[in-house]
A and B are shown apart, each in its own frame.
Chain A
Amino acid sequence: MVSNPLTRNIDLSRQPFDLAAYEAVDGYRGLREIARGLEPSDVLDKVRDSGLKGRGGAGFPTGLKWSFVPMGDDAPKQKYFVVNADEMEPGTFKDRLLMEGDPHLLIDGMIIASYAIQANTAYIFLRGEYTESERILRKALAEAHERGYLGNNILDTGFDLDIILHTSAGRYICGEETALLNALEGRRANPRAKPPFPQVSGLWGKPTIVNNVETICNLPGIMAWGNDWYRGLTKGNDHGTKLFGVSGKVRSPGCWELPLGTPIRELMEVYAGGMRDGLELKGFLPGGGSTDFMLPEHLDLNLDYDDIAGAGSRLATGTMIVLDNQTCPVGMIGNLMTFFSHESCGYCTPCRDGLPWVDEIFRAFEAGKGSHRDLAILEEHVDYLGPGKTFCALAPGATAPLGSGLRYFREDFERHISEQRCPYRQ
């Protein structure tokens, strides 16, 4: 049986599979099932039963999210399905691999998802900087259209679907699903108040589902090989496989598809090859820039949503950023604060004014001018910018590496103050 449904067709040393090659390896089987009479509710049930959780960061159950979309004769005729391909979480490089490695997998999944909620228009919201992804996706979309898998009355099902590739112009906040909807509508990408949730009132006020690229790439396998197979993929509590990446000063940085529940140590030491010679692991962010630091003592935990939550962090995007013992943790956190400060949309005050303040304090530490009073102000911001204090999750995301960094690397902050310089710089 297939054990790597997300990456089985990916080989970056050649061009990705075209439609015929993709179909030859069980591609578009979900669509064929639909043509044989599978109802939208059957697809929803199947996805709900699979236990698939969103792979964009929040880990929300995908089937549950879909189930909030109004269905039936009284539901609005116009609905939208949107793929969030605005990959910009610092240290995250997994959706690019999927789009550039196997574009038909994403289109296959999008057809299944759009059919389940009966959306006739779907958008791929792609990062503007991903020019290679754009080229590859445009080619694949044209093939799918030509083959009759997109367009009107697909395979005589009476179901119509157009997929439109939208390229953005670069802002991290567009990854927040309601900000993404504003951006697609041509507005400034400020997040929206919830409720109403997009599932009920989203793009142009119509029911809309927004799912991450990797989430959608799970669907073709679930449709083709079923839930017993899907559940059997895992080594842990959550079902399926996931892309896991490692960047930083390890021997072989990269991105691999592994069963959920794989030990973190295996990812770090077997796949990424361990630390480069002469370096030791000091800590790591397990799922991108807005997750809490974890420590070497956590290596024996598993790559599982609950396990990592138990260590006070989040699996999130599953792409780990490794901090070694010769890289300054204060500098690393400061780099993240510059990012979050720059990418704040400016809508709510704590985020707009708090993050630049935090960033400025990190510049002071860098310049050897940090004080204990500054440290206290940073501590306060972990609370002031935390969950529930801001309009969306951007600033709380920033407090994850900030708060955990202050806790775990206190001594490094103290040394910046007492030595009046960065002790890591020669």
Chain B
Amino acid sequence: MWIGREQGVNTADNQLIASTTVAAGYLREAEIAEIEHERTLYPDARAVGLEALKIVQKHRGWVSDESLRAVAEYLRLPIAELEGVATFFNLIYRRPVGRHVILHCNSVSCWIMGCEQVKDRIADELGIDFGETTADGDFTLIPVPCLGDCDRAPVMMVGSDQHRNLDRADLGAIFAQYRKGTE
């Protein structure tokens, strides 16, 4: 299918234009509304790039190549530049993640207070290592720098919730709250 907007471009470019034009229709109404709200808070589109990626990630769980391209197209930002931003930040997921991301703090205070043992217990409970997702798609485990709750270490986040004093917490009970059908 030929959807090139300019005449005289070669076939490879036509395909690229075709795919980006398709990508422009890819963003959902709710995503666009949120991106447009962000646009009112900053003087230019570039500053909205990261926000837009976070919005898409909130709706879809992660940022696929198609999502990245759609956002770049929508905001008229160079794809490579937006990809540079996407891959810079720890909390933009360029690979699929589970329904709940576990951010396991492994910085110094948590390390002193036994975060390595907590990580072993998470692995026992869920059968996953850093960067892995449970087979049922419920959880992905990722390390995160200091979560700023050092007097209640060791800590982790599950989704947007902070869980503290994990050395004496029942991890199984915590994860059960998030299992599909129990939320």
Contacts and interface: CB of A to CB of B under 8 A. Distances in A.
Answer whether A and B are interacting partners: yes
B89 A168 contact: yes
A169 B148 contact: no
A339 B147 contact: no
Contacts of B91: 128-129, 169-170
A93 B54 contact: no
A204 B151 contact: no
Interface residues of B, number: 40
B85 interface: yes
B146 A89 contact: yes
A339 B150 contact: no
Interface residues of A, number: 56
A187 B85 contact: yes
Contacts of B85: 186-188
B151 A343 contact: no
A248 B109 contact: yes
B108 A336 contact: yes
Interface string B57-97: 00000000000000000000000000011001111100000
A176 interface: no
Interface string A172-210: 100000000001111111000000000000001000000
Nearest to A188: B88
B19 interface: no
Given A91-B108, A187-B85, A253 B144 contact: no
Interface string A282-325: 00010001000000000000000000000000000001011110
Interface in A129-152: 129-132
Interface of A: 87-93, 95-96, 127-132, 164, 166-172, 183-189, 204, 245-249, 253-255, 285, 289, 319, 321-324, 327, 331-332, 335-336, 338-339, 342-343, 345
A268 B147 CA distance: 22
10 closest A-B pairs by beta carbon, nearest first, are: A170-B90, A247-B150, A169-B89, A253-B151, A186-B46, A131-B160, A247-B109, A186-B47, A169-B91, A170-B91
A184 B47 contact: yes
Contacts of B109: 90-91, 247-248, 321
Contact of A169 (B90, B111, B146, B162): B90
